Chain A
Amino acid sequence: MIPDRFDKLSSILKIQLQSFPEHENYLKRRFSGEMLEQLEFCEFVAGMIFALTKDDIKTFCDDYAWLSRMVIDEEVHFRRHSRYRLSSFAEAFEQVYSNNPFMTKYMNGLLMTQLWWRNHTEVLRFFRDSFLAGGGKDRDCVEIGPGHGLLLGMTVASDGCRSAEGWDISEASLANTSKALADLGVDLTKVTMREVNLFNAPEMQFDRIVFSEVLEHLEEPQAALQALFKICRPGGRIFVHAPVNSPAPDHLYLFRTPEEVVDMVSSVGFEILDTRFEPCTGASLARARKLDLTISAAVVARRS
């Protein structure tokens, strides 16, 4: 299903199918009709995944299979009740964040979704082309909740990045991101990782702020965006990515349309520069809207 010259992508795909043969039809659909530039980007992401997983790629593929089965239970609940199962951070902490073996598998599986879920890959491509591109220099950057580290790694490596911080409330997650940045081979002298709660952030300001797949984990997403507005330098830009109708064990805030995400970003004072709505694998945007399927909403905005 993929031309041979995309050799990293082809070999990860082969390993994934060995670990999860039932997923073949899905993955066929995932890559059917992809344009050359999309496949080239997938090959780039596959390269980063290899750098991060090394000899352990099979475990990550197994964890992706586990994750795919687990989200089915969440999907049943979501479809029946039209809401996410959890609504408070305390519950998410108890059931998910504090459960280390669960978290490890979950994070590993999520890394693989950057390649296997077309909406995730396309948002990453939009991140590169719309947010990171465009020159500039001496930019101070920060990502809140950097997780697997792909976005922070790409940020550090982008033109004009002078410094980059990674903030998270989870020590385990910070350690994971630090290791990822080292494995990706980015210039670590530019990077500072800190244990910071966004709601209690230090008085600093940044030119570029990355906030990907965190909003939907919060009880009060709008308050988080207000906090981000404060740490954004006038003229600086923010990248926000949040999924719509996307049940997961630690998702609390349900966005029902991509416009709700965009409106929330502008409601705190940001000026919207660019948006991208990417439907889940196998669906057009129109069909995703009609059936309330997952859509990833990505927004680039500016503090003027």
Chain B
Amino acid sequence: MNEISRDAILADVTEVIRDIFDEYEGPVTPDLNAAKVPQWDSLAHVQLMVLLEKKFGIRFKMSEIQSFKNLGDVIASIENAQER
């Protein structure tokens, strides 16, 4: 996959993460997940997913929303959707 597009996606995702999880000050990297962010509970997860859907003009599958393990998975899915 294309490194550059991944970095670009990560930059946009980071913006959304900073906005919604305003108490989290750690690094935003592909291995970031809910366990590392106290504000990232199951409802916030949905809010995050839909904000990303809107930002990238895509639609995740319900099964994806429930199974993403970290931001890396999310970014891969966004990249896939954009290529289609």
- A residues neighboring B (CB under 8 Å): 22, 25-26, 28-29, 68-69, 71-73, 75-76, 79-80, 280, 282, 287, 291, 293
Contact = CB atoms under 8 A, between A and B. Distances in A.
B50 A80 contact: yes
25 contacts: A22-B42, A25-B38, A25-B41, A26-B42, A29-B38, A29-B41, A69-B42, A72-B43, A72-B46, A73-B62, A75-B43, A75-B47, A76-B49, A76-B62, A79-B49, A80-B50, A80-B53, A280-B43, A282-B38, A282-B39, A282-B41, A282-B44, A287-B22, A291-B20, A293-B47
B17 interface: no
A76 B41 contact: no
A293 B43 CA distance: 10
B10 interface: no
A280 B42 CA distance: 13
Interface of B: 20, 22, 34-35, 38-39, 41-44, 46-47, 49-51, 53, 62, 65
A291 B47 contact: yes
A193 to B, nearest CB: 35
Contact of A79 (B22, B35, B42, B47): B47
Contacts of A291: 20, 47
**Which 9 interchain pairs have the tightest Cβ spacing?**
A79-B50, A75-B46, A26-B41, A76-B46, A80-B50, A75-B43, A282-B39, A72-B42, A79-B47
Contacts, number: 42
A79 B41 contact: no
B54 to A, nearest CB: 8
Contacts of B43: 71-72, 75, 280
Q: Max chain B CB contacts within 10 Å: which of A25, A68, A280?
A: A25
A272 B44 CA distance: 33
Contacts of A79: 46-47, 49-51
Given A25-B35, A71-B43, 4 more contacts: A25-B38, A72-B42, A75-B46, A80-B50
Nearest to B59: A80
A270 to B, nearest CB: 32
B56 to A, nearest CB: 14
Contacts of A72: 42-43, 46
